[in-house]
Structure 1
Amino acid sequence: MHDLAHNEDTIIALATPQGIGAIGVIRLSGQSSISLVNKVFKGKDLERQESHTIHFGTIRDGDKILDEVLVSLFIAPKSFTKENVVEISCHGSNFIIRQVIQVFIRKGARPAKPGEFTKRAFMNGQFDLAQAEAVADLINADSEAAHHAALNQMRGGFSGEIKHLREELIHFASMIELELDFGEEDVEFASREDLKKLVNRLLEVINALIHSFDLGNVIKNGVPTVIAGKPNAGKSTLLNALLNEEKAIVSDIAGTTRDFIEDELIIGGVAFRFIDTAGLRETKDTIEAIGVERTQAKMKQASLIIYLFDLADTSTVEMNKEINRLENTGVPFLKLGNKLDKVDDTLVESLQSQHPDMLFLSAKEPEQVEILKERILELVNLDKFKRGDTVVTNIRHYDSLLQTKNSLEAVINGIDGSVTNDFVAMDIRRALHYLGEITGEITTDDLLANIFSKFCIGK
C-alpha cells in the first residue's frame, strides 16, 4: 500500500468518449467527491446513501437546472480507485457535459491527468503495476486475442508468476545476507547447489516469458503480413478479396501499385495487418523502383509473407528461384499459386509434387479465399496462447525480464567462479529489482509518469 496523503484532492474527467452521444459519464474520485456532488445535486441527500446505489435528480448551477442525471455512488474502499467515487450519467451533449464539469471545478474539483484514476487505484493497492498497464491494453484491444491477453494480465495471471519467482528468490537473498552478518564465522545458511537449482529453474521460466514476447507483440499489435510477388500476379485482387472491398487499384497493366497499401482484418480472433506491395521486378521507372525497394524492406520486417505466383505466366524454374530467395529471408512465408482458373491440372499436379505446402486458388473465388484465411491462421503459432500460458505483450516487461535474466546468469557465473558472498548478493538484489519493476514493488516517479501519461483522460 502506498502513501495516500497526496490524493486528498478530488479529480474529475469525462469517462466516455468525446463527441455527441446518448449519454456522457462524468467520473469524480477523492475523499470529498460525494459531498462535492451533493452541493449541486437536487434529489436525495447523497451523503446518507449506501455504496453501489443509483439516484435520479438534477444538477444545478445556482437556480439554473443543467440536466437531469443519474448519480452512481461507490464509497471507499469499494470502488475502482479505493476512494469515494461518483459517476454522473448525463445527456451526451458536449455543451451539457462542459457545463456540468465546469460547475464541479468551480466547487473545488480539478481536471484529472491522463490515467490518473488508474494510477490512484495502483497507489491505493487495488492492483499491481502490470495489472494497471493491462487496463490500457484492454481498452485498446481490437481483437479477441488481444482482449484475452489483456484480460488475463489485468486479472493477475502474469503478475502471479512474477511474484512467485520473486518470493523464492527473496528467501535465498535473505539467507545470503545473513551469511554476510556472520562473515567471520564461515557459516553457510544457503546451499550454493540449491541456489543454482533455483536460479536455473527461474531462468527456464523467464526465458519462456522472454520468448513469448514475439507472440505477444503480434497479438497486441497485429500480425504484419506482406502480400508480395511479381507485377500483375494478382496481389491487389487478393487484398480486395481478403478485405471484401475495393481497397486497391486492380489493372492488367503491370506495376500499377507503386507503393504499399495497408489494412487490418480479424481472422480467428487475431488481427492481421495486410500490406499489398509494389511488384518485384527490375524497372527503369524511378517511382516504381522506390516502391520495389520499400517492398523488399517490408518483407524483411514482416511476421508472415504471402507470396503470389502467377500460374499462367511463371515458369517452374522461376518459381523455384523465387522460393529459394524467400527461404533466405528467414521470414515464414506462404506459397500461393494464383489464377488457378487459367491453367490446366497437369501444371498444378506437377507443382504440388514439388511443393506440397503450396496453396492454389483464384483470388476472384470467395470460397478459395476462405481456405487461404484458414491456412494463414495455421501459420501463426497460437498454441501457447490457446493453452492459456502467460504471454508477454508489454515492451517494458520484456526489457525488465531481459535485465533479470542477465542478473541471474551473473549469479550462476559468480557461484561457479567462487566469488564472494557480497557480489552474489548484489546480483540477486539486482534480479529482484528488475522483477519488482514489473509489478510495481520498485517504482520511481518518472516510471509512473511515463506509464500513466499514455492512458486516456478519464481512465
Structure 2
Amino acid sequence: MVLNDTIIALATPSGAGAIAVIRVSGPDAISLVNSFFNSIKDGKELTEQKSHTIHLGHIVEDKRTIDQVLVSIFKGPNSYTGENIVEISCHGSTYIQQEIIQLFLRNGCRMAEAGEFTLRAFLNGKIDLSQAEAVADLIASDNAASHQVAMQQMRGGFSNEIKLLREELLNFASLIELELDFAEEDVEFADRTQFENLLNRIQTVLKRLIDSFAVGNVIKNGIPVAIVGAPNVGKSTLLNALLNEERAIVSDIAGTTRDTIEDELVIQGIGFRFIDTAGIRETEDVVESIGIKKTFEKIVQAQVVIYLFDASHYAENSKLITVEIEKIKNQFPQKPLIIIANKVDTTDASLIKSELHYEHLLLLSAKEKTGIDELKNTLLQFINTGQLRNNETIVTNGRHYDALLKALEEIEKVQLGLNDGLSGDLLAIDIRQALYYFGEITGEVTSDDLLGNIFANFCIGK
C-alpha cells in the first residue's frame, strides 16, 4: 500500500440521500480538487484559501457541470490525517457521487482502502493505535454506554494511562541498562525501593484495567439473554413485552416457536440481546426437536438465563418445574438465572411464594406487561456499571486485554526477580518484554500484519 499518494472515498453511507460527502486526502488533494472547481464568488482558487474554510461552487469537467457543491479545506498537518484534506459535500444522488469520484480517479486519485484515512492519521502521529481503534468503536456504538467508552478512549483516556506507565518503566529500565555498563564498578543507578513501588503501582493499574474488560466487553457487544421454559408458558409474549412490539409469533398452540428469535433492547445504556427459544419438552416432531436442541446451544452462548413457567399451572407441574430449574443451575452454575412465574394475573401466586425460595424469583404477567420494569432492574444488577459512572478507564478491546495480560505476567516476573535478587541484565529482559506489550497497545510497537488486521475492519471512507 502506497501511503504518500492522494486517495478518495465516499465518507457518507452509500446510496441516495439528501447530501453525500466525498473525502480526498493526500499531498495533491487541494490542487486536484481546484482543477475541477469553479467558485461561484470571484473565481477564487482553492490553493490560495486558508485552512478550515468552506467554499461554494461547481464541480466541472470540460464545461460540463456535474453538481453544485460545498468544498471544505483542511491543510496538513492540522487535519484528521495530518495531510491536506478536501471534503466535497454534493447532492446525494448515487449518479452524482460516482461521477465526482470517477472524475478524480481518472485524474490522479486512488480509491482509498478500508480505514486508510484513519491509518494515515495514525502513521502521521495524529492519534495512537488505541485511539484509532476507538474510532471504529465509536462508529459501531449503538447505545449510550458504548458511545461513552469509545469517546473516552478516542480522547486518549486509556492510551494516556498506558503511556504514563510505559514512560516510568522505561526510565527505570534505562537506569538498569546503564548499570550494566558499569558492572565491574558495582554501582546502582536505579533505586530498588522506588522500583518496587513502581512495580506495585503498575500491577494495581494493570489488574484494574484487566478486570474492567468484563464490563467493557458487555458494553461493547451487549449481553445475550436466553429465555427458556416449557412450551406455551409465554416466552414469546415476554419477548414482545420487553421489546414493546410484536416481534415473536404468539399463539395458544404449544411448539409455535420452532427456532430461536433474537432482538436487542437497550436498558439504561446497556445492550441486552434477548433470545426467545423453542419450548423444552419431549417431542417426536423433527423440526421442533431441532429447535429444542438449539435452545440448549443458546443457553451455552448466553450470559444470563431466564427460566419461565406458567404460574396458573404451577400446582400440577411443580415437581417438573423444580427439576428443570435445578437442571439448568447444575449444568450452568456460573450463569445468572432469573426464574419468572408468568401469567400471575390469572391465578393466586401464594403457593409459588411459599414453595420457591430462589434468589432471583419474579412474578409477572407478560400479557398485561406487569413486572417488566422489575425484570429490567434485575438484569441491570448483573452489570457493574460503577466504573462507567466514575469515568474510570474501561477496556473493551480484546487485543488490548490480551496485551495487558501479557504485560502483567512480565511485570510479575520482574517483581519476582527483584525479590530474589536477580542481576540487572536478567531483570532488563523481562522489563523490555513488558515495555513491548505496552507499546503494542498504543502502536509504538507494530507490524504490517497487525495494522492490516485492525484497519481491515474499518469502513471505507474513514
Shorter-chain TM range is: over 0.9
Deviation at 1:255, TM superposition (A): 2.6
* Amino acid corresponding to residue 401 of structure 1 in structure 2: L
Verify the 8 A CA contact 2:225 2:274 in the aligned structure 1.
yes
Match of 2:6 among 7, 10, 13: 10
- Secondary structure in 1 aligned to 2:371? helix
Q: 1:88 to 1:309 in 2, by over 3 A?
A: same
Structure 2 counterpart of 1:189: 189
Verify the 8 A CA contact 2:36 2:60 in the aligned structure 1.
yes
The one-character-per-residue Cα deviations of 1:115-158 (angstroms, maximum 9, x if unpaired) are 11111111111111100111111011111111111111001111
Taking the TM superposition and a 5 Å limit, the aligned residue runs for 1:137-286 are 137-286=137-286
Structure 1 counterpart of 2:354: 350
Verify the 8 A CA contact 1:300 1:331 in the aligned structure 2.
no
Structure 2 counterpart of 1:25: 21
Structure 1 counterpart of 2:130: 130
Aligned Cα root-mean-square deviation (Å): 1.9
- Secondary structure in 2 aligned to 1:366? coil
Which piece of structure 1 moves more, 313-322 or 415-424? 313-322
Query: Is 2:379 the counterpart of 1:383?
Result: no
* Amino acid corresponding to residue 246 of structure 1 in structure 2: E
* Amino acid corresponding to residue 453 of structure 1 in structure 2: A
Query: Is 2:26 the counterpart of 1:35?
Result: no
Verify the 8 A CA contact 1:145 1:270 in the aligned structure 2.
yes
Which piece of structure 1 moves more, 287-296 or 149-158? 287-296
Match of 1:456 among 442, 456, 459: 459
- Find the aligned partners of 2:319 and 2:172 in 1 and give their Cα distance: 63
- Find the aligned partners of 1:365 and 1:379 in 2 and give their Cα distance: 26
Structure 2 counterpart of 1:324: 326
Deviation at 1:63, TM superposition (A): 1.1
- Secondary structure in 2 aligned to 1:313? helix
- Find the aligned partners of 1:155 and 1:402 in 2 and give their Cα distance: 23
Match of 1:395 among 387, 394, 398: 398
Structure 2 counterpart of 1:337: 341
- Find the aligned partners of 1:47 and 1:415 in 2 and give their Cα distance: 60
Unaligned 5+ runs, structure 2: none
Match of 1:424 among 420, 423, 427: 427
- Find the aligned partners of 1:252 and 1:411 in 2 and give their Cα distance: 65
Q: 1:387 to 1:242 in 2, by over 3 A?
A: same
Deviation at 1:42, TM superposition (A): 0.6
Query: Is 2:372 the counterpart of 1:364?
Result: no
Deviation at 1:374, TM superposition (A): 2.8
Structure 2 counterpart of 1:90: 90
Deviation at 1:432, TM superposition (A): 0.4
Verify the 8 A CA contact 2:337 2:360 in the aligned structure 1.
no
Deviation at 1:289, TM superposition (A): 3.1
Deviation at 1:447, TM superposition (A): 1.1
The one-character-per-residue Cα deviations of 1:158-180 (angstroms, maximum 9, x if unpaired) are 11111111112112111111111
Query: Is 2:429 the counterpart of 1:433?
Result: no
- Find the aligned partners of 2:359 and 2:121 in 1 and give their Cα distance: 55
Deviation at 1:348, TM superposition (A): 4.6
- Find the aligned partners of 1:385 and 1:318 in 2 and give their Cα distance: 41
Query: Is 2:375 the counterpart of 1:409?
Result: no
- Secondary structure in 2 aligned to 1:364? coil
Deviation at 1:6, TM superposition (A): 5.9
TM-score (norm 1): 0.94
The one-character-per-residue Cα deviations of 1:281-318 (angstroms, maximum 9, x if unpaired) are 34444433333332222212212112112212234444
* Amino acid corresponding to residue 38 of structure 1 in structure 2: N
Verify the 8 A CA contact 2:364 2:370 in the aligned structure 1.
no
Q: 1:387 to 1:109 in 2, by over 3 A?
A: same
- Find the aligned partners of 1:304 and 1:381 in 2 and give their Cα distance: 14
- Secondary structure in 1 aligned to 2:365? coil
Structure 2 counterpart of 1:71: 71
* Amino acid corresponding to residue 340 of structure 1 in structure 2: V
- Find the aligned partners of 2:359 and 2:99 in 1 and give their Cα distance: 67
- Secondary structure in 2 aligned to 1:273? strand
- Find the aligned partners of 2:338 and 2:233 in 1 and give their Cα distance: 15
Which piece of structure 1 moves more, 217-226 or 186-195? 186-195
Sequence identity, in percent? 56
Q: 1:351 to 1:387 in 2, by over 3 A?
A: farther
Which piece of structure 1 moves more, 86-95 or 101-110? 101-110
Verify the 8 A CA contact 1:74 1:85 in the aligned structure 2.
yes
Verify the 8 A CA contact 1:306 1:336 in the aligned structure 2.
yes
- Secondary structure in 1 aligned to 2:274? strand
Verify the 8 A CA contact 1:52 1:75 in the aligned structure 2.
yes
Which piece of structure 1 moves more, 278-287 or 48-57? 278-287
TM-score (norm 2): 0.93
Deviation at 1:52, TM superposition (A): 1.4
Deviation at 1:367, TM superposition (A): 4.3
Deviation at 1:7, TM superposition (A): 3.9
The one-character-per-residue Cα deviations of 1:160-207 (angstroms, maximum 9, x if unpaired) are 111111112112111111111112222222244433332232122111
- Find the aligned partners of 1:416 and 1:290 in 2 and give their Cα distance: 58
Which piece of structure 1 moves more, 70-79 or 282-291? 282-291
Structure 2 counterpart of 1:298: 298
- Secondary structure in 2 aligned to 1:312? helix
Structure 1 counterpart of 2:103: 103
- Secondary structure in 2 aligned to 1:78? coil
Verify the 8 A CA contact 2:311 2:349 in the aligned structure 1.
no
Q: 1:94 to 1:142 in 2, by over 3 A?
A: same
Unaligned 5+ runs, structure 1: none
- Secondary structure in 1 aligned to 2:312? coil
